[in-house]
Amino acid sequence: MTASVYFISGIDTGIGKTYATGYLAKQWIDQGIKTITQKLIQTGNIEISEDIEKHRDIMQTGFLPEDDEKLTMPEIFTYPASPHLATKMDGRALDFNKIEQATHILKQRFDVVLLEGAGGLMVPLTTDMLTIDYIAEHQFPIILVSSGRLGSINHTLLSLEAIKQRGLSLYALAYNLNDESQDTIISKDTAQYLKQYLKHSFPEAKWIDIPKI
């Protein structure tokens, strides 16, 4: 049996993508679904992915053998920037074959792989490839992380329009309630608006609330 791979992207940097990834993994594990997270590309770190560390804290698993094997963090760059710039700063190119091989191995060992991207859908991985290009190449269903912060409707709709334009599958919109910058009135209205939008434009997509810690 081949695992399902879901690509987790966000509408913006700092939207809570890493927290949402860890939370969803914990929820599915608790439901008896063997789940692991993987970081597509980690920047701003040396040797260990801080995002994978956060996932494991939320999942309450500690480091896994796959982490020690670096299957969950196949590409790490030291400069805290978009991958296309981080690779230049480190003086080496992305090894997409290494990433894909790691994902393939994880698929053999788990029921679900949650593959967290770096930033949003339009973040450039190289000068010639955007994150959404990589998703389209592999036809991964997307879990898009949003929140009720001011401005998120615009960012969310732009991301959803990009998904629709590429003909990609939206598995779920994950609504991060763990964002302290949110105004309660705006957050509730944003959720209501986006739920109505999904009903018309992505009727098969799920709505997932990511609760406060």
Binding residues: 14-19, 43, 51, 116-119, 204
Residue of 26, 15, 70, 16 whose CA lies nearest to 48: 70
Enumerate the known binding-site residues for Mg(2+). 18, 51, 116
Rg of the chain, C-alpha, whole Å: 16
Q: In this structure, how many other beta carbons lie within 10 angstroms of the beta carbon of residue 157?
A: 16
Enumerate the known binding-site residues for ATP. 14-19, 51, 116-119, 204
Enumerate the known binding-site residues for substrate. 43
Between CA 80 and CA 51 the distance in angstroms is 13
39 is catalytic: yes
Q: Sort 47 into a burial class: Cβ within 10 Å, 0-12 / 13-18 / 19+.
A: exposed
Question: Which one of the listed residues 39, 88, 188, 212 is annotated catalytic?
Answer: 39
The H or E element containing residue 54 is helix 50-59
Cross-sheet strand order for the sheet of 142-147: 35-39, 112-120, 4-10, 142-147, 170-176, 206-210
Q: Which residues are catalytic?
A: 39
